[in-house]
Amino acid sequence: MSGEMEEVVTEFILESKESLDKLDSLFVEFEEKGYDKAIVNEIFRIVHTIKGAAGFLGFKSIVDISHGAENILKKLRDGEIPPTDRLIDVLLKSTDKLRVLINHIETGNSFNEDVGELVKELEDSLKEAQSKGQKMVRSESALEAENQVPIDYEKAVFERRERVQTLRVDVERLNEVMDLTGEAVLIRNRLLNIAGYFERKFADDPYVKGFLEAVSSLNLVTSDMQIAVMKMRMQPISRVFNKFPRLVRDISKSLGKEVELRISGENTEVDKSVIEEIDDPLVHLMRNAIDHGIETPEERRAKGKHEKGIISINAFQRGKQIIIEISDDGRGLDVERIKGKAIEKGIITEDEAQRMSEDLAINLIFTPGFSTVDVSTEFSGRGVGMDVVKTAVSKLNGYIEVFSRKDKGTTFRISIPLTLAIIQAIIVRSMGVQYAIPLSSVEGLLKLGSSDVRKVSGKRMLCVREKTLPLFDLSALLGFGCGEGIQCEYGVVIAVGERRFCISVDELLGLEEIVVKPITGLDVSSSYVVGATITGDGSVVLILDPSGIARGIFG
């Protein structure tokens, strides 16, 4: 295959994947709303475009499936057949198969496969629907869309390229540019440090003045370059959210439950690396919400609830953090049942269970191997899931919280950094060692006085603005001191989700933009350190993980 043809195939794969992701949401919307010709037209356009491009490239299997689906969609669009459950099921089955075929093309496993069985199923479904001889009642939106017609693939590509000037770039090249930008930031920081020294020592030297001006300009250019590269990597979180309507439809249908999915904030943008890592944790949470959270229609009616449960997923930006919340109005978490299962599995003792707060008990669900389900199903009960979610979120320097009320519902809130590569951090010193604390988790800095610190139940507490916060010495937390009698000068107030605590340090060295470098072999799921960086004075500094510290303190 020539280089030019490879480029065309790559373009086809990327565009087809995006189109298929959109199809799942459209089919679910069509099923929920009932017959709507505007939606059918949009589905028809997408399938027609995939078929046209596949035909041009000689992918016969994709053409055959697309053609069979197109025949059904044409009859639906013209109101000649009703949108039965079987038709929707077989159309969704077709999109799944198209996705598999396109993945096979991408990996080079196969270009054409035997799809005769699925094509026959499409034909049989169409014949069955036609035999019913039902005419559709056309909605107002359908009449408005009456004159819409499918468009040719070549025309669609031409019009799209006329409207938007875009260039697809290989991810590896983008990552390389991001790495080089990170190195430029480190050099910029070093030059700023040197420039500060020259300014103090040789302020009147004209060459020094020129050097300072050049470094100042470099600082502005580097900052602008960093922002531009970061924006190149930003993607809407809808790339993840788009799969959930189909997921909710299939799981709720197989469990005999009725579930309405509400999505908001899908245009919130996050770094591409976050998109890739947050996918699986969100799928776990969504499956658990349907399987564990939402009751059956009979159970909900008995509780005085509407028989259709509601699951909401929302994303929004708060400062330098992206917040994702998955909520349901189901049965909530049974704290006593969680404690009982934890005792049964030897995770805690009966005495610990009695003294354990509700918040700590709820967090037992993140223990590896924990499950309250007695019989495993294809969706849950195998003791795998919630611990995977917590580990994945931790790897993103994030934090997960759970809020639940019995028979009212449960909310899982995930907080993750906007980007993982270049962040702002407070540089501190404790017992002669420098550390970086991500600014996104810092709520305040303060000078410590002996009158502000007191002991409550043997633990040091700090009074801040009429609030009492747990106080921990940083070196003691990291295992370099006992923490008793240590008189540190400054305190850093850390906020992780709803948790607040203060860590004491010897010095506050200032705010700096740092490049996060991973440490090979470091287990971030159980460490207080998330990586390392090089500061402006050339020092190698460990970057602390506020989420990890919070987990170590509060459990």
| Tokens encoding 512 | 């700096």
Burial class for 69, CB neighbours closer than 10 Å (0-12, 13-18, 19+): buried
Q: Decide if 464 contacts 471 (C-beta within 8 A).
A: no
Q: Decide if 263 contacts 385 (C-beta within 8 A).
A: no
Report CA Rg, the chain: 29
**Rounded-to-integer distance, Cα 480 and Cα 503, Å:** 14
Under DSSP, the state recorded for 151 is -
Contacts from 380-388 at CB under 8 Å and sequence distance 24+? Answer: 380/287, 380/288, 380/291, 380/292, 385/284, 385/287, 385/288, 386/284, 386/288, 388/280, 388/281, 388/284
Within 13 A of 418's CA, how many CA atoms are on the CB side?
19
Q: Decide if 349 contacts 324 (C-beta within 8 A).
A: no
Q: Which amino acid is at 360?
A: L
**Rounded-to-integer distance, Cα 319 and Cα 317, Å:** 6
Element (H, E) at 553: helix 546-554
Backbone angles phi, psi at 380, to 5 degrees: -165, 175
Nearest to 398 by CA among 545, 292, 192, 297: 545
Q: Active site includes 48?
A: yes
Residues 6+ apart with CB under 8 A from 9: 1, 57, 105
Q: Active site includes 147?
A: no
Q: Decide if 312 contacts 325 (C-beta within 8 A).
A: yes
Nearest to 393 by CA among 199, 525, 259: 525
Q: Which SS3 state, helix, strand or coil, does residue 377 take?
A: coil
Q: Which SS3 state, helix, strand or coil, does residue 164 take?
A: coil
Catalytic entry in 31, 41, 42, 48: 48
**Rounded-to-integer distance, Cα 351 and Cα 343, Å:** 10
Measured CA to CA in angstroms, residue 75 lies from 52, 64, 80, 123, 523 at distances of 19, 17, 5, 12, 56
Render 420-484 in DSSP notation, one character per residue.
SSEEEEEEEEETTEEEEEEGGGEEEEEE--GGGEEEETTEEEEEETTEEEEEEEHHHHTTSS--S
**Rounded-to-integer distance, Cα 463 and Cα 451, Å:** 9
Angle (CA) 227-230-231 rounded to 5° is 85
Catalytic entry in 41, 242, 288, 397: 288
Reduce the secondary structure of 83-147 to three states and give it as a string: CCHHHHHHHHHHHHHHHHHHHHHHHCCCCCCCCHHHHHHHHHHHHHHHHCCCCCCCCHHHHHCCC
Q: Which residues have a catalytic role annotated?
A: 48, 70, 288
